[in-house]
């Protein structure tokens, strides 16, 4: 398949170039199915295997797309960071909050007899070079809605977002299960 940093095609099923646009009117939705082959013109021995001649025959699998270095790891780690910033775990620094969250995660894993390779929640574990900061006093905008009402918009600065939870693919499902349990029982 044609891939690489400079390749504008991001999907083997459509011609979309705006891969991050998930809206209902995204341009890539009208380009399904593809009208051209996404595969390189060079001969690839495995392409001779019966059943893999059309792009539609190659299905994206949830293991790679979600669990193994996929959006699931980003999502789960981002949820943990968001909970920390919303005050789910009382502490001063983000790492201290994440440490308290990790303790709750480990207790749940022990109670549910789940094994995880995630060895902690921290900016380092989540591969964050900086952390989210909400600053009500300096970063606020007020928008007048009525004579006496206003909406407070708090801007969150995020120079880098979590791009991993620091574990393996199976840990994504475990972390998501814990998040579901935590949100249902704690908040």
Written as tens digits, the pLDDT of the chain (187 aa) is 555 556 666 676 677 776 667 777 877 777 777 777 666 666 666 667 666 666 556 656 666 677 777 788 989 999 999 999 999 999 999 999 999 999 999 999 999 999 999 999 998 899 886 544 444 433 344 444 444 444 444 444 445 678 889 898 889 999 999 999 999 998 7
Tokens of 166: 């620091």
- Name the packing angle between helices 94-111 and 71-85 (round to 10°): 120
Q: CA 128 from chain center: how many Å?
A: 13
- Residue 114 shares a structural domain with residue 154: yes
Range of the domain at 147: 71-185
Mark which of 32, 60, 88 sits at the end of a domain.
60
| Backbone φ/ψ region at 87: left (φ over 0), alpha (ψ -120 to 50), beta | left
- Residue 114 shares a structural domain with residue 178: yes
- Residue 165 shares a structural domain with residue 75: yes
Instruction: Reduce the DSSP state of residue 167 to 3 states and report it.
Output: coil
Q: Is the pTM of this model over 0.85?
A: no
Rg (CA), the chain: 22
- Residue 95 shares a structural domain with residue 172: yes
- Residue 50 shares a structural domain with residue 76: no
- Residue 104 shares a structural domain with residue 177: yes
């Amino acid at each position: 398949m044609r891939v690489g940093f400079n390749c504008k095609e991001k999907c083997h099923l459509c011609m979309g170039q705006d891969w991050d646009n998930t809206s209902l009117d995204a341009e890539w939705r009208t380009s399904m199915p593809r009208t051209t082959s996404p595969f390189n013109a060079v001969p690839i021995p495995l392409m001779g295997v019966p059943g893999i001649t059309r792009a539609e025959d190659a299905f994206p699998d949830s293991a790679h797309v979600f669990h193994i270095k996929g959006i699931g790891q980003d999502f789960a780690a981002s949820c943990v960071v968001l909970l920390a910033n919303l005050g789910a775990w009382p502490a001063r620094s983000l790492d201290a909050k994440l440490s308290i969250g990790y303790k709750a995660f480990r207790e749940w894993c022990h109670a549910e007899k789940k094994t995880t390779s995630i060895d902690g929640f921290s900016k380092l574990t989540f591969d964050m070079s900086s952390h989210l900061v909400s600053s009500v006093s300096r970063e606020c905008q007020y928008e007048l809605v009525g004579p006496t009402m206003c909406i407070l918009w708090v801007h969150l600065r995020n120079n880098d977002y979590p791009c991993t939870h620091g574990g393996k693919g199976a840990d994504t499902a475990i972390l998501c299960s814990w998040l579901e349990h935590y949100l249902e029982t704690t908040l």
